[in-house]
Structure 1
């Protein structure tokens, strides 16, 4: 078995060289990326046929004369398998043959004797070689999958250019990939650019679920939950102030479970003095039960929970504290800051799924550069948005959620920031080209 190296500007060109010079029976041993392109190490058992080389050279000339997009079989060679799975199976068979040849090379002795030090180490060498070959095959498979997916994406873009344009707009708006592809697939074929964009915005609005004034309109006990820094305490103060204005100070009370953050109780207590409603602190589930019994005649009791990271073990303890109060039906609402990353918001929702959520509140809308991330999380997890907080003023900067307002705000943020950024990037590239 002989080994040769081939260099190309990309994987396609390097594989073509292997096929042209060594034929379809060559085995790919490794591939590496260089600054100038790709290096492939290939092995072969016999010298390539000169007629095959000449034939492949003619094929190469004919192929350059055409401009169609090459298929996977054309990338690898006419005699090669036409699918990635078949290619990997062929190379796995080649690796198996090589392994059998290595095992057959070991001398067989008629009389048993104690193995030497070299013979003891030989299986380790074989395992290391096989492991290295498996890693190289896996790397090659990933590269081929990436190239094939790129060809598929190019074909989709060619067949449906409007869909590609709409997908890019939704991505710049902050909409997740899965949700964007789902809504774009419903776009009417006969619609133009503007009609299709308005259709997508209406479709997102129909998928988004909201509740109008759910907390203040219904009496009972409400707990606001969420990670640290989402604005739970300020939102509690806004809700308490609006409830006092609507139902009177004697019908509203606030309980805080935040016993860890320095000054947490003082902050909510200060709000309580300004608003005029009582504020109490509970250390554990037993004290929470006693306070809820004490405030049983109140129309609305708001519970401010401590803010923990999703990875903090104290979060589980706090969730258990809420669950243990089965004597009172506590409605739980998740507070999410709308200016957070999509993955962070998704992870927050996953952690708080352990309890039954009645809805969510989006905060810090005034600090957002896009709203698509929050809209995607709400739609994909079927969360009902109840309130929107867009400032620090108490109680003015809190309003009931509206699908029309959210989608319109998301579109305005896209026009204000995403389009300006895209245009600036285009201008900078044109200046650099000059």
Structure 2
């Protein structure tokens, strides 16, 4: 038996050297790692085929005279397969050929099963494991939301540090009731060199320029006008105010009122009472055909006002009423949306969205006397490019109604903010501060 040492950068390189020089029947005696690679001690019983025939194999003996069994390659690497180096290399080559196919199969399995929900997996797990998995998902979702909140807070702090005046103005607009998107938009135009007072007046003028109004649009133009909107916005009272002012201006015989509110108890009686006081004609229409007939009868009137039923945005009957208004008739009906100014921003936005199914000529803001903030109504009108035509601020007929004025609306919003929005004007500020201390 002859022993040789081989050096290589890795195990595969050294084994290849052993095979090339000693053949596939060589026996690995030992292996050792070095800084530059791996050292293998290999033994062989016969010369390679290019040399002489091999001699008889002699087993090494120990100092005690007993023969010592040379460890095979399988024993060195912990494999139970064949001892032949040739067989080992063939086995490694076969495993290397099978690996890409296995990876491809695993990838295909993952790709096909990734979009599938975890219900098949969960079905094989116990209820305790399912609950634990559900809690982990909820906790991860909660952590993600907290991290997003913290990151947004850090970004906001950085913006406040870089642009303190802009951040201060945005907060003032938000406290006035202006929506966040509109506040960010208008503050972006504020001049950097201006002081706080100048910048605030600049923003109020910018909002006034963005707000569209129509002064006395309904009374100045003859025709048919329908007032629409959710329940409780004051449509019937507004119709009575418009009818009374039109009667004062053009005469009661030039004004007529038609109601299609067949759902609210006493709706017709209420508007009929107003009609008797004003002296104008009041009729009731049950459907689109009756409405068309009445409009034809009143074709010589200067102004015909239609009072509609109030439905919530989610009420299916609203669609039916909109279809009734949209029915073709002998005249063109101008539609105006009635919204209460003391309503929430999101409610007004959804109201405008639902009534956008019909062509709106403008809107009427009611209940200004009940408002603590006007910024929400102003934001909705600006963002939806909805023209404000009239403002009502009380129950008196016909006194508590006036044509919309941009300067009046913005000034009223700023006055309400100064009265109710600022911290030092809050009556509970001192009490709350004492409780906090």
Take 2:364 and 2:176, find their aligned partners in 1: how far apart are those partners?
21
Aligned position for 1:116:
none
Structure 1 unaligned residues grouped into runs of 5+? 1-99, 104-118
Distance 1:174 1:120 in 2: 51
Q: Mapping of 1:332-411 within 5 angstroms?
A: 332-411=335-414
Q: How far 1:347 moved relative to its partner?
A: 1.2
Counterpart Cα distance in 1 of 2:395 and 2:123: 73
Partner of 2:15: none
Q: 1:232 — aligned with what?
A: 235
Query: Which of 150, 159, 164 matches 2:162?
Result: 159
Say whether the 8 Å CA contact 2:420–2:426 is kept in structure 1: no
TM-score, length basis structure 2: 0.69
Whether the aligned pair in 1 keeps the contact of 2:296 and 2:330 (CA below 8 Å) is no
Query: Take 2:138 and 2:165, find their aligned partners in 1: how far apart are those partners?
Result: 40
* Residue number in structure 2 paired with 1:270: 273
- How do residues 12-51 of structure 1 correspond to structure 2 at under 5 angstroms? none
2:290 paired with 1:290 = no
Displacement of 1:141: 1.7
The corresponding residue for 2:34 is none
Q: Which of 250, 256, 259 does residue 247 from structure 1 map onto?
A: 250
Matched, 1:432 2:435: yes
Specify the alignment match of 1:307 in structure 2: 310
Q: TM-score scaled by structure 1? A: 0.70
Give the Cα–Cα distance (whole angstroms) in 1 for the partners of residues 231 and 429 of structure 2: 38
Q: 1:123 to 1:250 in 2, by over 3 A?
A: same
Summarize deviations over 1:392-431 as a string: whole Å, max 9, x none: 1111111110000000011111111112666545433442
Question: In structure 2, how many angstroms separate the alpha carbons of the residues matched to 1:420 and 1:430?
Answer: 11
Aligned mates of 1:279, 1:338 — CA distance in 2: 28
Aligned residue for 1:209, secondary structure, equals coil
Deviation, structure 1 residue 160: 1.3
Structure 2 residue ranges without an equivalent (≥5): 1-105, 110-121
How far apart, in 1, do the equivalents of 2:188 and 2:123 lie? 61
Instruction: State the distance in 2 between where 1:420 and 1:271 align.
Output: 44
**Partner Cα separation in structure 1 for residue 186 and residue 428 of structure 2:** 27
The Cα shift of 1:171 comes to 1.3
Inter-partner Cα distance in structure 1 for 2:351 and 2:314: 10
Q: What whole-Å deviation, never above 9, does each CA across 1:361-418 have from its counterpart, x for those lacking one?
A: 0001111111011001101111000000111111111111000000001111111111
Cα-to-partner distance string for 1:132-187 (whole Å, 9 max, x where unaligned): 54443332221111111110011111111112211121111111111111111111
> Structure 2: how far apart are the matches of 1:191 and 1:362?
34
How far off is 1:125 after superposition? 7.8
Superposed counterparts of 1:86-165, under 5 Å? 121-122=124-125, 132-165=135-168
Q: Residue 186 of structure 1 aligns with which residue?
A: 189
Structure 1 match to 2:20? none
Distance 2:420 2:351 in 1: 26
CA apart distance, 1:283: 0.3
Partner residue of 2:327? 324
Q: Please say which structure displays the higher CA radius of gyration.
A: 2
The CA RMSD measured in Å over matched residues stands at 2.3
Shift of 1:343: 1.2
